[in-house]
Structures are given as structure tokens and as C-alpha cells.
Structure 1
């Protein structure tokens, strides 16, 4: 029975995707370095400090730095303590916001007794985003899609150094959602066949919401310009055939005003790669931040203790308002029917049961149920009939239809 089920699952997988041979990569000259990723802002909230270790390219991901003692010191007198809310993630015990004119310093001690401290930094001037807006554009590679742009202006000319990140949320509607699921109502040893029936499929599988965050470093320097103004800065581009813009899309853009020193750090960081994963991967050379070891001057630390003022805006976009005439994202959702072949009816029913139990497919029929009560055993890939494979069913609090 076990071998037969394995063959069934392999058969299901072969209908859904091709096989890819793994390519093994090994890292040489690896250094185990503490990684500090944090930005303290002028928002009243529980601030966060993320601590991990660099990892090899062949590893699954970074190792969380657990059991550390973390605090942020304000004006060398007020201490904000942090507690570990999840492995490697430290949240301030109390809410606080960085204030102008005050100095902030990060202090931490790892579980093995090593101590680290940052330079003292101050909060830059706050500058609000003027507007975020979408626009249909053609990118440098000739692809059409939706661009997200930002305008901002500081009449005092004191901001100058900006960093942008965004979080996307989009609605997912499976193309072959069906109101009923197929279930087994009678099976067991000694039977010649199984009984099947239908139950209502949960409405929570019909519409879902998925998130995506920016994975590049977008920085802008207006110091050499005549005025501290940014116009038409493209912070994101979504190809017309991307799932994110298949239906309804929202993006929250956050603007950080940062110091000249922080700008220099992120400039160097972005020159290595377009991915912020370099906060967790060792790169050629070493990017020096503003955090040092108090125990050993040769002990490297990757990261920067940043204090920034933040402004943010959110917009919603419907695909039909910009990209209605362009090809859109389409899932491969062929309907397939398991064949009985030369086996017995019981073996065929066991095959159908194993299809259902695999949770990789969903029942779907493109014809009404037959009046005689017989059941057409037809299926689609789960992603085609169940949106929870791509997102969550509960709409975010900010979502507007």
C-alpha cells in the first residue's frame, strides 16, 4: 500500500510540474559573523532589532542569534530594553519613538558573552511623502506593466538622503474554484467499492490576500541637486503578467530620511547586489557599519544601527484601470481525470481516495452533476481551486474593495 501511494503521489506531481536536477553550491572561506538589522524610527511603537548570523549559500537560510541582551540607550541616560519575541527577533518592552535632538546608541550582548555597541546617532529631519501614484510604463527591457512612483519635497533642504521600501498586498482569486469538495463516505477492508459524496467547499478558499515585501535597496541623494525635491522616482515595477496585478493591488511605500553615514552604508551595500539578503550572506570584501565589538576589535559585525524619520502612504490599483488590454497572469489549470485502467473498481476508488488525501488537488467539474447520481472524478491542481495555497482568506484591516 505504501509503495502504491508513493507511485500515486509521484504521478500527481508529474502532471503538475517537471523535474529539475539540483545544482550543488559550496561556499569557501566562510566567516560566521553577527548580523544586525534594525532601524529605529520616530513612530510610537515597539521597535525591533533583528539578530542573525551569516550563512553559506548552500544553507537553507540564516541562523537566528538567540538569547541576546539588547537595549537602546537615549542620551546616555534612558534605556529601552528589548525582549526576544521569536528566535532572533527582539522587540522593545515598551513602545517608544525616536525624538529629534537626542542621541541613540545600540548595545547588545550575545549569549556567549560578547558585547557590541554602535556609534551614537541622532534622528534626521522628518519629511512627508507628497504623493504615491501608479502609471502604465514600459521598462528598460521592453516589458509593459505598472510602475509605482513617488514625489517628495523638503523646502528646508535638510533631508537630502532618502531610502525607500514597500509592502505589497494583492487579491488572489483561483480560476477554478468550485462550490463542492469530493469526500469518501465509506471505505475499509472487505468492501468491493467505496462510496463518495459532496460537501460544500469553504468560502474562505474563494478569495484570499497575499503579501510581498521589497527585496532591493532603493536610496536617493538630493545633496547635489538645486533643491531637495524628488519627482517621479520609480520605486517598483510590476509586469503586466504578474500575479500581483492580476486583480486588485495595494502598495504601502515607506520613506526613510536617513543620515549621510547611513546613506553611504546602504550605497555600498546595494552596489554588491539588488537583494537585501546580503544582510545574511557573506559577500566579497566587507561592508563596515557603525557597530563594533567591545571585546575584540577584530571581531566583525555586519549591519548598521540606523535611526530614521519615516513617512508612508498607501494606494490601491485595479488592473482594468491601467492594464486591461494587456495579457494577464494565467495559471495552468487543466482538468484531469484519473483512469481506471485494467484494475478493479475497488483499486480505482482507492486511487481516487489517495488523490483526495494527497491535498495537492481539488475536485472540479465543468459540467453539471449527472442526474443519476454518478460522480465524474475530475480534478485540478489545488492552487487552481483553493486560494489558501497563495494567501490568507481574511482581508487585511486596511483593505478597501
Structure 2
């Protein structure tokens, strides 16, 4: 076994276990066009995503490329879309949907098949009243931070709501060290090493997550069109997201009754306890059909929604200071010279450096030389770029 391979075995041997692979194969697979089309009352380049269904054993969905996409307003005004990346189509011009007008989606795929949506209109525009954090204990007995929303439509016309969020949090590695170890020269019997200043960009980073669940609610059985204390997210106290400073942008979509029904069914499928449930869901019918062939299935919904958003910032100490926090195991790796030659030891150190799985770290204030035992730390303990990016977001407030 080479020195490099031995190194990787040493690093990861304690992190791996014995898992027997389970092969999944899909039977009766149908290649169906999947359309993710939501346009809003925001003036922007609207975006529509096209892909194909995929088998369990595949890596992921296949993007639908080369399609012609447009949104038609009142059967006369056309907004054309262009493919900005594989399967992602953005409107050539910025536009927003307006109340009192009808909108229809038209798609023609590269193989000549045409798809069209029902005509839809913009629902009532209603703004979020408040987004706020609160310390809670969830149904599983876990303490943490809940994010809640209040909203109210005095006209009583909104009724159907869907929520998404995007969260950003600051990451500070617990064992950041100001120097990196580098090989400066490889001699026949040994290597020469030196310390160079480590980039400050590895010291503080910002990570980003986008919600991937479907959160819908309605007020049809309420005396007034008001939502109070709707929980849109929960963060356990020991989660890295709330280890330092945290921000969340909550987006509220007011949608039609038909769109709500579609997302409700979609949500019930996605929350199924097991992929191997004996109850097999049928096909989810949306408001998009094939013009080329009535038997040609399409999965998706053309959604026209009014949107309101609100961002808040949270510091851990304001809510969770007395609770256990996120703890990253950061043990020092100290490769021992063993009984090999000095050159073999230096080759091992070089491979540690080049593996990018560790960073140089020392707990003694002595400069290393050729015989001094070098020490290292797992990269995520010393370099924040493993979790995020160093550039401060434009919206960030300290």
C-alpha cells in the first residue's frame, strides 16, 4: 500500500463502519416531464425549471434542455424565456404579474412536444406581519429555536398560504491557526518545511441553506383571515446553524385554492414515512397538459402567486445561552515517525498536507524542523470554507 493510501486509511478508518449495500431497481419507469413554474408579483427575471423523472438508482433528475418557454398575458403579451443553465429558463426581460390579468404557460420541448397550462390569475396580495424567534421544545423533546410567522388579511380574500425560507449563518472554526505547513524543498534524504501565513478568509465564513419542505396552511375555517404563531422552522440548540449568528428570510406566497390543493397532495407524498410504503401514490395531476398527446403525462403546476418576505437576525446567546451548543470533535493528529527513515516520515507529512483533509495545527510554541513531530487538525476544525464562503452577504448585519 502506498504512503498516500495508507494516510487516507488512517484518517478515515475511525469514521467508517460496515454497511451492506442494498440495490434498488425501478420497475415500470415512465419518463415524464417535470415543470417547476412559479411566477410572482415581484419585478424580476422570472424563472422556470424543467427536468425529467428519474429512477431510484440514478444520481438525480436529468435537466430538460433546448425547450422553448414563454408566459402569455391576456392571450396577447408574450414573455419569452431563455435557458440560462441546463434546465433553468429565465425570462429575457424583467416583469411582474398583475391582478386582474390572466397568465398561461407554454412549453415546446426539443423533441417537438407541446405543453400548455390553464389560465391563472394573481391572488390577493398580503404582507407578512411579523417573523420572530422563540425558544421552544419540539414534539420530540428537543430544545431549540422556533421561527414563527404572523399574518393578516383584513379583506379575507387570501386564505391559502405557502411558506419557504432561506437561512444564512456564520461559521467560525474552533481551531483556526494562522499558519500552514508547506514543503519548500525535496532533498534525496529528507524534505525541507516552512510555515506560511494562512489566509484570513478561512477564519470566518457564511453558510446558506434553502428550505426543501412544503409548508402550507389556510384560514378557510377561521373567523378571520389571520395566521398567528405558525412555525415555519425549528433549529435544535446543538445545531451548527445557531452556534453563532443566524439569519432567516421567510417568503410568504398567497396562492389559489387549486394551487393549495396541488401542494397539499405533493406534501403528503413527500412526508411519507417510508419509500417502501405499501400504499403507492397515484399520479399527481396539475394544471399543465400536453397539446401533442392527451396520454402524455406531465408533472407540475403553473403557479402565479403574490409574495411577501421578511428577514430577521438571531444571536444564540439571546435565546439559548444556557443550553448545550454545537460541538465539533477536533482531536489533534500526530503522525509518528515509526521505524522508517526520515524521508519516509517526511513523505507521510507531505501526503497529509496534500490530502486537503487536514490542516497544520500545533499546541506547542516551537517551530518545526525535520525531526519535530508535526501535528494536524481535521480541515473543518480549522478552515471555515469547508462549510461556507468567506464573502460577507450583502444583507448581513452584525
Question: TM-score normalized by structure 2?
Answer: 0.95
SS in 2 for 1:79: strand
CA 1:19–1:338 in 2, change beyond 3 Å: closer, same or farther?
farther
CA distance in 1, matches of 2:299, 2:369: 69
Q: Which residue, 248, 258, 271 being the options, matches 2:255? A: 258
Residue in 2 aligned with 1:5? 4
> Does structure 1 residue 123 correspond to structure 2 residue 129?
no
> Does structure 1 residue 192 correspond to structure 2 residue 189?
yes
CA 1:338–1:21 in 2, change beyond 3 Å: closer, same or farther?
farther
> Does structure 1 residue 360 correspond to structure 2 residue 361?
no
CA 1:352–1:19 in 2, change beyond 3 Å: closer, same or farther?
farther
SS in 2 for 1:149: strand
CA 1:170–1:17 in 2, change beyond 3 Å: closer, same or farther?
farther
Contact 2:255 2:304 (8 Å CA) reproduced: yes
Contact 2:336 2:373 (8 Å CA) reproduced: no
Residue in 1 aligned with 2:314? 317
CA 1:375–1:200 in 2, change beyond 3 Å: closer, same or farther?
farther
Residue in 2 aligned with 1:243? 240
Please state how far the C-alpha of 1:376 moved relative to its aligned partner.
3.9
Instruction: Kindly provide the CA deviation profile for residues 89-116 of structure 1, in whole angstroms up to 9, marking residues without a partner as x.
Output: 0000000000010100000001110000
Give the unaligned 5+ runs of structure 1: none
SS in 1 for 2:181: strand
CA distance in 1, matches of 2:363, 2:67: 57
Residue in 1 aligned with 2:342? 345
Q: Which residue, 288, 295, 299 being the options, matches 1:298? A: 295
Q: Which residue, 258, 261, 281 being the options, matches 1:284? A: 281
Residue in 2 aligned with 1:204? 201
Residue in 2 aligned with 1:65? 64
SS in 2 for 1:266: helix
Q: Which residue, 314, 330, 333 being the options, matches 2:327? A: 330
For residues 54-203 of structure 1, the aligned pairs below 5 Å read 54-188=53-187, 191-203=188-200
SS in 2 for 1:362: strand
CA distance in 1, matches of 2:57, 2:369: 56
Please state how far the C-alpha of 1:11 moved relative to its aligned partner.
2.0
Instruction: Kindly provide the CA deviation profile for residues 326-351 of structure 1, in whole angstroms up to 9, marking residues without a partner as x.
Output: 11111111101001111100000000
Residue in 1 aligned with 2:388? 391
Question: TM-score normalized by structure 1?
Answer: 0.95
Instruction: Kindly provide the CA deviation profile for residues 175-194 of structure 1, in whole angstroms up to 9, marking residues without a partner as x.
Output: 11100000001115xx1110
Contact 1:26 1:58 (8 Å CA) reproduced: yes
Instruction: Kindly provide the CA deviation profile for residues 347-375 of structure 1, in whole angstroms up to 9, marking residues without a partner as x.
Output: 00000001101111001112212598974
SS in 1 for 2:209: strand
Please state how far the C-alpha of 1:161 moved relative to its aligned partner.
0.4
Contact 2:190 2:370 (8 Å CA) reproduced: no
SS in 2 for 1:66: coil
SS in 1 for 2:2: helix
- Cα-Cα RMSD: 1.6
CA distance in 1, matches of 2:353, 2:368: 23
> Does structure 1 residue 29 correspond to structure 2 residue 28?
yes
> Does structure 1 residue 224 correspond to structure 2 residue 221?
yes
Contact 1:369 1:375 (8 Å CA) reproduced: no
SS in 1 for 2:284: coil
Please state how far the C-alpha of 1:56 moved relative to its aligned partner.
1.3
CA distance in 2, matches of 1:211, 1:23: 32
Please state how far the C-alpha of 1:24 moved relative to its aligned partner.
2.3
Contact 1:217 1:274 (8 Å CA) reproduced: no
CA distance in 1, matches of 2:79, 2:139: 46
Give the unaligned 5+ runs of structure 2: none
SS in 2 for 1:226: coil
SS in 2 for 1:356: helix
Contact 1:238 1:244 (8 Å CA) reproduced: yes
